Amino acid sequence: MEKILARLSLREKIGQMLMFDFRKWQNSDEDKQSNYYVMSEEVRGMIRKHKLGNVILFAENFENVEQVTRLNAEFQASVENDIPMLIGVDQEGGRVVRMSHGCSLPGNMALATSGSEENAYTAGLITGKELAAVGINVDFAPSVDINNNPNNPVINVRSFSSDQNITASYGTAMTKGLQAAGVAATAKHFPGHGNTNVDSHTGLPAIYSTYDELMNFEIVPFADAIKNDCMMIMSGHIQFPNIESASVISKQDKKPMTLPATLSKVFLTDILRDKLGFKGVLITDSMQMQAVSSHIGSEQANILAINAGVDILLMCTSLRSLKDDEKLGALIDNIVNAVEDGRIPMSRIDESVMRVLNVKKALGLFDAPKTSVEEKIAAALKEVGCEANRAAERLLCTEGVTVLNNNGVLPVSTEGKKTAVFAAYANKVNAFKLALNRLYAEGKLSQVDYTAYIYSNKKELDDEAKALVDSSDNIIIETETEANMAHSNWYISFPRAVCDYAKSVGKKVVVVSAFMPYDAGIYRDADGLVLCYCSKPVPGAVVADINSTLAYGANIPAAFEVVLGKAKAKGRLTVDIPEMDANGKFDTTSVVYPLGSGMDLN
């Protein structure tokens, strides 16, 4: 790698330290932007002109398996200096999935509730195999943020647990699975985004931990990832005012602001490199997120990040057409000028480029077998969403389902009975339909007489809902409680009203909490209370074809199978469920369901 580094120009080196997305593109002969599915000669030219060395994909890049495999092959063929690209994606599983086809898997919290680190390894392995099959070599996962703040709007079920040791062990297991499949894992968001109530996409969060508190809590999963050879770490745009004293003037309010971790040498060099011994690639979270972009200009932010110890700047500008070529050139010129005038030491550039090259070597990218695009596509079609992966996905989702209450109502008996299913959206009714169709096909269930009611944006019970409760033997309610847990929100007020009415007429109720587990306290009087930790939907095409390779939310169908008594739940809470008032405020000193709660079913 030293020989490769020695032959690179400064601009080529900087190209290795940049990663951009081309999720949307507007060619010069087109009148609007569209999803970027096919390599454009304009993009190819931009990559070659500016020596860009890496790319990140989003949902807008995934149309189908054949298309994305071909696109990634074209990305690799676009480089002219014989240095393969890192091609990354946020494929965490559960709530955060970019691929249009293949397995979504349960997501972190559902994996940890299963009580099996092997499940986390398996999820990482399947994810890695499917990503590698289509030509992706970096996964921006796992999130090893510790979700000890129930009001966290951005991490929540993306976290394994509120416990640092559970988070560490499951994060490391997933890391090992991903890297066993030949995909670099990325522990994020260093030094921890769990104890925040602000989303760094839209604002600048702060955590007031002391150094010792940080090292004994938020840092623990990252330290474990480093000990177990995690190849990459992603920094978070989070302030730690009690640890970092340096500040810059915010362009938003013209006042001094503490440097967020992404721009902090204290965090990225002193702690991450020197204290924890991380030798892999450090990549920023998107530099266009409001936590950075609304406070610090891109020129200053990029220089600060590099000097702090960052190896790759992620999405430090938006590229959507050739009109952005000049903007990209100016961004690179700014870094070149900073090196040439001594604001960034050349040694700082060289050490980062060497790390990037070493990760590319470790992934085998320089020695990748020469196979045709058609051969790559054929192999990808065999792997992505294959029968074995789907079976594992279904089992992992089922084992993560957590049963908190069972007052003689679970499993629900449907034989000769009428069942009412209240769901937030039609695509969650699809989840019930998918569960039924799979069980029908396997001969595990006879036809169920059910009626679905979709309550999206309805706050109060209407006559139709009351009549459905009155005429039904089984009442099943799917809830999708979001981060704002004020009880006046429709996604709480309506299902709560169904529970109250059903009880008033002597009916038992089963609640399936599909998203934030912290709503469990709202439904503690439910006769059956089941949690599945991910509200990702099921498209109609999957209901029609249960063997479809389309990606879909596998958690809710698994929960319905548990409710119907056709699958075994093993889940135990990995967070405390605290008391909550009607305004959605938590009293963390009063715990309704403690970490570890849950019961086996079937």
Flag whether 602 is in a domain: no
- DSSP character for 370? -
pLDDT in tens, 442-500: 999 999 999 999 999 999 999 999 999 999 999 999 999 988 899 999 999 999 999 99
pLDDT of residue 601: 81
pLDDT of residue 153: 62
Flag whether 7 is in a domain: no
Question: Is the same domain home to 364 and 425?
Answer: no
End-to-end CA distance of the chain: 56
Contacts of 383 (CB under 8 A, 6+ apart): 129, 130, 133, 389
Of 90, 163, 224, 285, catalytic: 285
Question: Is the same domain home to 191 and 221?
Answer: yes
Flag whether 598 is in a domain: no
293 has pLDDT over 80: no
Q: Which of 326, 351, 381 is the last residue of a domain?
A: 381
DSSP per-residue codes, 379-407:
HHHHHTT-HHHHHHHHHHHHHH-EEEEES
Give the Cα separation of 434 and 75 in Å (integer).
Answer: 37
Question: Is the same domain home to 485 and 528?
Answer: yes
Question: Is the same domain home to 165 and 308?
Answer: yes
User: Total structural domains in the chain?
Assistant: 2
Mean pLDDT of 286-300: 78
Give the Cα separation of 502 and 513 in Å (integer).
Answer: 17
Question: Is the same domain home to 376 and 509?
Answer: no
Of 201, 229, 487, 525, catalytic: 201
CB 94 within 8 A of CB 108: yes
Which position has the token pair 């604001």? 343
Percent share of the chain, pLDDT over 90: 88
Average pLDDT, the chain: 95
CATH number at residue 357: 3.20.20.300
How would you classify the pairing of strands 54-57 and 34-35? Answer: unpaired
Flag whether 38 is in a domain: yes
Flag whether 387 is in a domain: no
Flag whether 1 is in a domain: no
Q: Return the percent helix, strand and coil in the chain, to nearest 5.
A: 40, 15, 45
Q: How many helices (H) and strands (E) does the chain have?
A: 21, 20
Which structural domain range is residue 323 located in?
18-381
Give the Cα separation of 556 and 476 in Å (integer).
Answer: 12
Bridge partners (DSSP) listed for residue 528: 406, 510
Give the Cα separation of 266 and 235 in Å (integer).
Answer: 13
**Nearest by Cα to 360 from 38, 44, 86, 19:** 86
pLDDT in tens, 104-144: 999 999 999 999 999 999 999 999 999 999 999 999 999 99
How would you classify the pairing of strands 86-89 and 138-139? Answer: parallel
Bridge partners (DSSP) listed for residue 25: 34
Question: Is the same domain home to 300 and 373?
Answer: yes
Model confidence at 524, in pLDDT bands (50, 70, 90)? Answer: very high
Question: Is the same domain home to 469 and 367?
Answer: no
Token code pair at residue 399: 């084992």
CA distances from 389 to 370, 546, 549 (A): 27, 14, 10
Give the Cα separation of 81 and 49 in Å (integer).
Answer: 11
50 is catalytic: no
Token code pair at residue 394: 């279904």
Question: Is the same domain home to 493 and 355?
Answer: no
Distance of CA 423 to the CA centre of its chain: 24
CB 477 within 8 A of CB 494: no
Model confidence at 297, in pLDDT bands (50, 70, 90)? Answer: confident
- DSSP character for 410? -
- DSSP character for 472? -
198 has pLDDT over 60: no
Give the Cα separation of 380 and 34 in Å (integer).
Answer: 25
199 has pLDDT over 70: no
600 is catalytic: no
Q: Which residues of 526-547 are buried (b: 16+ CB within 10 A; e: fewer)?
A: bbbbbbbbbbbbbeeebbeebe
Question: Is the same domain home to 189 and 51?
Answer: yes
195 has pLDDT over 90: no
Q: Which of 327, 347, 381 is the last residue of a domain?
A: 381
Percent share of the chain, pLDDT over 70: 97
Contacts of 372 (CB under 8 A, 6+ apart): none
Give the Cα separation of 555 and 94 in Å (integer).
Answer: 8
Flag whether 26 is in a domain: yes
- Phi/psi for 489 (5° steps) reads -65, 140
Distance of CA 442 to the CA centre of its chain: 32
Give the Cα separation of 196 and 177 in Å (integer).
Answer: 29
Is residue 487 reached through a cis peptide bond, with omega within 30 degrees of 0 on the bond before it?
no
Flag whether 391 is in a domain: no
Question: Is the same domain home to 313 and 442?
Answer: no
Q: What is the pTM of this model?
A: 0.96
pLDDT of residue 345: 98
Question: Is the same domain home to 374 and 411?
Answer: no
Give the Cα separation of 373 and 73 in Å (integer).
Answer: 7
- DSSP character for 268? I
pLDDT of residue 204: 73
Question: Is the same domain home to 272 and 418?
Answer: no
Contacts of 369 (CB under 8 A, 6+ apart): none
Token code pair at residue 474: 């089984």
Give the Cα separation of 492 and 485 in Å (integer).
Answer: 8
CATH number at residue 424: 3.40.50.1700
